[in-house]
Amino acid sequence: MEHIRSILGRRLRLGVIGGAPGSFIGEVHRIAARLDDTYELVCGVLSSNPQKALQAGKELGFPSDRLYKTVQQMLESEETRKDKIDALAIMTPNDTHFEYSMAALDKGFHVICDKPLTNTLEQARALVQKVRETDLVFCLTHNYTGYPLVRQAREMIVQKMLGDIRLVQVEYVQGGRAREVQVSPDMPRAWKYNPEKSGPSLVMGDIGTHAHHLLRFVTGLEVSQVSAEVGTIVPNRQVHDFAGALLRMSNGARGVFWATQAAAGVENSLSFRISGSSGSLEWCQEIPQRLQFFPLDGPAQVFTPNGPGILPAAAKVSRIAKGHPEGYLEGFANLYTEAAQAIGNAILKLPHRDYDFPGVVDGLKGLEFIEAALLSSRSGGSWVSTHQVP
């Protein structure tokens, strides 16, 4: 993959919204943007508090004429600069993704946005429409698809190494919300416990959409119908903390989905098992440098990044030699770097190409999945088509 600097003669100029110093996801986005030297972070509004925003910009070393107090100020100022930003990365609470994305696209900036796309289907559909109209790049950071062995799994399925896909299992199990908590406004990420900000289903927005997208990405299939229960298991809580679903996939495959943030002591266990007519694949995010393949005939195989048997689609997202693990940040960076290719391509007005990073339509699919699961759950487990949610 040719480096963006070679294509454009410069790094892309990036602004950020959200992710104040000390925030988990803000730091992740900034490292991901920096890792492959494809972006130059030139400005940002890292807090909704104007003073904190200014302070954070100084801390990050932004030029003095690019220290902004508000998103609006940043957008208006950048729009008029000769060296204006190419793209905006959004890592704010969920309820603002829509507003900021729309505003950025309106100003002609490409967008890299954290998941979930929006809090409502209506917003998601409007955003899909907007991206189509503006023809700008929109990257949604379902970062787990950036792992080399997730790419390997996908490509093995594309190449029919599993035969016809028949059975799928995906689960995302965390323990981060296993405790009963007294929510106070000044605790970190307090907004998560407020459904108005975090959306109709916290567990689904936080991690369920990751699991759903990972399954779609790897299999190339859509979830057609769900029979689900989504609810709250930890006492004294307003937001959802578990979601189970049976799945019918677009090719007729059957499956099961499980997501929870209430599994005490479990760290970040996002995993899948995919079975086709000629083999099964298993992967877990906690040991992302191992992909197990169980062929119908022959002993189990273990794939490693850049190791033997790795297909080009996977090899191209490893930076280093086999046996040297990469992790979460590198997977996240892979999306940033692929988005940079797309943005460079757009800047140079080259013909459209296919990219591997998730986009606005993937975000819409995630919202449809959430809504279908909630509808099924409310209706006593009946099967709901993801294509028919209102």
In the region spanning residues 296 to 355, those forming contacts with a second copy, defined by CB under 8 A, are 296-304, 307-309, 319-330
Instruction: Report, in Å, the least distance between residue 223 CB and a second copy.
Output: 13
User: Which member of 99, 155, 222, 229 binds a second copy (CB under 8 A)?
Assistant: 229
Segment interacting with a second copy, rule: CB under 8 A, options 49-57, 59-67, 183-191, 207-215: 59-67
Cβ 340 to a second copy shortest distance, Å: 14
The DSSP-derived string for 226-272 is EEEEEE--SSS-SS--EEEEEEEETTS-EEEEEEES--TT--EEEEE
Q: How far is the CB of 94 from a second copy (least distance, A)?
A: 18
Member of 1, 22, 37, 196 binding a second copy (CB under 8 A): 37
Residue 254 binds to a second copy (criterion: CB under 8 A): yes
**Residue in this structure with the two tokens 């460079």, named with its chain if needed:** 344
> In 3D, which of 276, 266, 313, 274 has the Cα closest to residue 291?
274
Handedness of CA 96, 99, 101, 104 (dihedral sign): negative
Stretch that binds a second copy, among 65-73, 128-136, 167-175, 359-367 (CB under 8 A): 167-175
User: Phi and psi (nearest 5°) for 210?
Assistant: -60, -50
The binder of a second copy chosen from 119, 145, 174, 345 (CB under 8 A): 174
CB 383 within 8 A of CB 226: yes
- State the DSSP string of 338-356: HHHHHHHHHHTTPPP---S
Among 7, 54, 158, 178, binds a second copy (CB under 8 A): 178
Choice from 193, 383, 385, 389 touching a second copy (CB under 8 A): 383
Residue 248 β-bridge partners? 225, 254
CB of 385 to a second copy, least distance (A): 12
26 binds a second copy (CB under 8 A): no
Q: Which is nearer to a second copy, 6 or 184 (CB)?
A: 6
Distance, in Å, from the CA atom of 50 to the CA atom of 214, rounded to the nearest integer, reads: 36
